[in-house]
Amino acid sequence: MCGIVGYLGSKKTKDILLDGLQELEYRGYDSAGIAVLQNDDFSVYKAVGKLINLQEKASSFDPTGFAVGIGHTRWATHGKPTELNAHPHLGECSYVVHNGIIENYAVLKQTLQKNGAKFLSQTDTEVIVHLFEKELKSSASAFDAFTKTVSQLHGSFAILLVTKSEDKTIFFAKQGSPMIIGKDADSEKYFASSDTPLIGRCSEVIYLDDGDYGYVTPDEIAIFDKDSKKKTPYFSKLSTNKLSAQKSGFRFFMEKEIYEQSEVIVDTLTGRITDKEIHFEELDSRLFEGINEIKLCACGTSYHAALASSYLFERYAKIRVSVEIASEFRYKEPLLCKDTLFVVISQSGETADTLETLKMAKKAGLKTLVVCNVDNSSMVRLADASLLTRAGIEKGVASTKAFATQLVVLWMLSLYLAKIKSSLSSDEIARQISLLREVPGLLKIKEELHEKITRLSKRYLHGHGFFFIGRDVFYPLALEGALKLKEISYLHAEGYPSGEMKHGPIALADPELFTIALLPRHMLYEKNKSNVEELSARDSTICAISPVEFDKADDYVKTSDVKDYMLEFFEMMVIVQLLSMEIAIRLGNDVDMPRNLAKSVTVE
Ligand code: F6R
């Protein structure tokens, strides 16, 4: 969950590295660092905290002419977020940056220390550079030493290493963490752990596979696979659209992304719906042959999308569905049956726990499908089939548009399957499709609504906790609302099924307990209402979100009078996203980079 960049060439090395890290800062901002090798000499800068600190530290550094550089932005796993633990890590004459975890680092470290290696940091990464330097002493070449080093590492990693004896080379290895090589119009070479730093600089990229390693010099890209066979580099075209990755006038990326939901859902739907049916070009309907159950597996927000969709799959496609949290699933020794379609849901396609469950399912011979936002991500490459959510780059750490698009894809998939299984009439499928078409319009945020939520937010800055409550698909939405609030406001919040409050949590009710009640008209309104009344009677402060005026509420956000609960779902989704964001802004928090979090969790 860190970010890595690299560059070999004669352009402005420092700017290229720092600009690249800026694009990746959302992946981790505990510390950042760069190492530049030029004329047999290293210049190294590291700083704790956000990138601005590194930019200031390196402000007078201005290398010109050919140089080789690597950079890293860190989300701490092993060792505190200190400068000593910041990458790049130094041996005697080499530097390394790494993303992922070296699982056998403790054993390697012990042996290296016995041989006299001096460790400066508490990180797992530092073993790589000491191991390399140990191997260098007895190897014919630096590449030989690097190959031997990589073969001894267990775990997941993306590594860049530079060493003085080969001052025109970057060595790389990829296993379980993403790494891309880019080439610009002058054939200069770049590295990055995702494509954003390369957009605008490189026209072509190589997406490395797990097990790949090798080296890049100004004249050569040498890639070897896990069996040490040399590969022919395969270049793909890189998009040039960087605009979507910028803030366009909004205060935060999260805000921009909440507003973008309307547009991106148009993209999600484009080419996939006719008046009567769902059409997924990427799917072969034979994927569902012999399938009697769907298992949905994901983490965090993606898990909430999975849970919400489980109601739709059972209701519309009449298929048995189970929903699993990936980090739990991977160790529960699950029974995997071949008549189960294993579906992973992931914004990034790189989340370690989810990726692992996908590998387990594949190993057990299950058919697999990924619903993902990032083409060419590890999950997309691994699964039998993939459906891209088309949300565009999501920069806010708290996921918003990725969630919305996941749910739209999963809703469409439930209808696609309903058609195959003839579990819904064609009229009902057509009706559902007309609802899908209404979603983008509903997600256009009216100024009055946002203003109202901003005003309201000032009453919710304290208290001893929030309960977001709802029933049916509004229960996963309540979970998601609570997660959004927790992530960016640091206030305690829980999502709960409305009907469960009386089985315990209602004991917490008092005026300082804030209940955000999702009260749709078209889904169990009366049942829900009585659950909220029970809380109101115990003096909990209630904020009701509903199309129906609710006189027991302290605050009320009115939603539109739409014709189906799924439309109510999307409207309420925006309201809980905006409410969380406005509360966090009032509390003075950095909404886009909340403390202790990172965008893509590529470690366990
Ligand atoms: C919360 C959030 C996380 C992610 C989770 C899974 O706002 O973004 O909970 O949903 O880390 O990430 P992906 O979807 O990339 O697998």
pLDDT tens readout for residues 269-298: 988 998 899 999 889 989 999 999 999 999
Is the CB of 601 within 6 Å of ligand 1?
A: yes
Same domain, 395 and 475: no
Same domain, 366 and 316: yes
Rounded Cα–Cα distance for residues 7 and 182 (Å): 9
Mean pLDDT, residues 472-478 taken together: 98
> Residue 597 falls within a domain, yes or no?
no
Q: How confident is the model at residue 506 (pLDDT cuts 50, 70, 90)?
A: confident
What does the pLDDT look like over 536-557, one tens digit per residue?
Answer: 888 899 999 999 999 889 999 9
> Residue 171 falls within a domain, yes or no?
yes
> Residue 599 falls within a domain, yes or no?
no
Same domain, 433 and 453: no
Ligand 1 center to residue 306 CA distance, Å?
12
Determine how many CB atoms are found less than 10 A away from the CB of residue 564: 16
> Residue 594 falls within a domain, yes or no?
no
- Cα distance between the two ends of the chain: 10
Q: Closest Cα to atom 9, ligand 1: which residue?
A: 300
The pair of three-digit structure tokens given for residue 237, joined into one six-digit string:
């075209």
pLDDT at position 333, please? Answer: 92
Same domain, 203 and 217: yes
Domain end, chosen from 405, 423, 444, is at: 444
Same domain, 419 and 470: no
Same domain, 238 and 282: no
Q: Closest Cα to atom 5, ligand 1: which residue?
A: 300
pLDDT at position 243, please? Answer: 52
Measured in whole angstroms, the distance separating CA 439 from the mean position of its chain's CA atoms is 24
Does the structure show a pLDDT above 60 at 529? Answer: yes
CATH at residue 499: 3.40.50.10490
Same domain, 207 and 355: no
Rounded Cα–Cα distance for residues 498 and 471 (Å): 6
Ligand 1 center to residue 175 CA distance, Å?
21
> Residue 603 falls within a domain, yes or no?
no
Q: Closest Cα to atom 8, ligand 1: which residue?
A: 399
Does residue 599 carry a catalytic annotation?
yes
> Residue 602 falls within a domain, yes or no?
no
Instruction: State which amino acid sits at residue 348.
Output: S
Helix axes 447-457, 565-586, angle to 10 degrees: 50
Does the structure show a pLDDT above 80 at 183? Answer: yes
Does residue 372 carry a catalytic annotation?
no
Same domain, 411 and 493: no
Mean pLDDT, residues 526-534 taken together: 92
pLDDT at position 101, please? Answer: 80
Burial of 56 (0-12, 13-18, 19+ CB in 10 A): exposed
Pocket test for ligand 1, best of 325, 330, 347, 580 (most atoms within 8 A of CB): 347
pLDDT at position 542, please? Answer: 94
What does the pLDDT look like over 476-499, one tens digit per residue?
Answer: 999 999 999 999 999 999 999 999
Ligand 1 center to residue 544 CA distance, Å?
27
Q: Are 317 and 417 in contact (CB under 8 A)?
A: yes
Domain end, chosen from 243, 278, 301, is at: 243
> Residue 69 falls within a domain, yes or no?
yes
DSSP state of 208: P
> Residue 601 falls within a domain, yes or no?
no
SS (H, E, C) 275-344: CCCECCCCCCHHHHCCCCEEEEEECHHHHHHHHHHHHHHHHHHCCEEEEEEHHHHCCCCCCCCCCEEEEE
Q: Closest Cα to atom 11, ligand 1: which residue?
A: 300
Domain end, chosen from 444, 460, 477, is at: 444
Pocket test for ligand 1, best of 303, 304, 399 (most atoms within 8 A of CB): 399
| CA nearest neighbour of 69 among 213, 239, 197, 233 | 197
Q: How confident is the model at residue 25 (pLDDT cuts 50, 70, 90)?
A: confident
pLDDT at position 241, please? Answer: 65
Same domain, 98 and 185: yes
Ligand 1 center to residue 400 CA distance, Å?
10
Helix axes 565-586, 426-442, angle to 10 degrees: 20
Beta-bridge mates of residue 8: 68, 189
DSSP state of 559: P
Is the CB of 487 within 6 Å of ligand 1?
A: yes
Is the CB of 406 within 6 Å of ligand 1?
A: no
Domain residue limits at 178: 3-243
Indicate which residue of 109, 134, 484, 599 is catalytic. Answer: 599
Q: For residue 179, what are the CA distances in angstroms to 97, 260, 378, 513?
A: 12, 28, 10, 46
Is the CB of 194 within 6 Å of ligand 1?
A: no
- Which atom, in ligand 1's list, is nearest to the CA of 601? 11
Rounded Cα–Cα distance for residues 233 and 240 (Å): 21
Same domain, 367 and 392: yes
Is the CB of 603 within 6 Å of ligand 1?
A: no
| CA nearest neighbour of 575 among 517, 534, 510, 531 | 517
Is the CB of 371 within 6 Å of ligand 1?
A: no
pTM, full prediction: 0.78
| CA nearest neighbour of 173 among 126, 123, 219, 224 | 224
Same domain, 184 and 79: yes
The pair of three-digit structure tokens given for residue 276, joined into one six-digit string:
């009567």
Same domain, 278 and 386: yes
Q: For residue 336, what are the CA distances in angstroms to 287, 294, 368, 430?
A: 17, 11, 12, 34
Q: How confident is the model at residue 135 (pLDDT cuts 50, 70, 90)?
A: very high
The pair of three-digit structure tokens given for residue 530, joined into one six-digit string:
């009585």
Q: How many domains does the chain have?
A: 3
| CA nearest neighbour of 485 among 453, 524, 508, 445 | 453
Q: How confident is the model at residue 1 (pLDDT cuts 50, 70, 90)?
A: low
pLDDT at position 502, please? Answer: 86
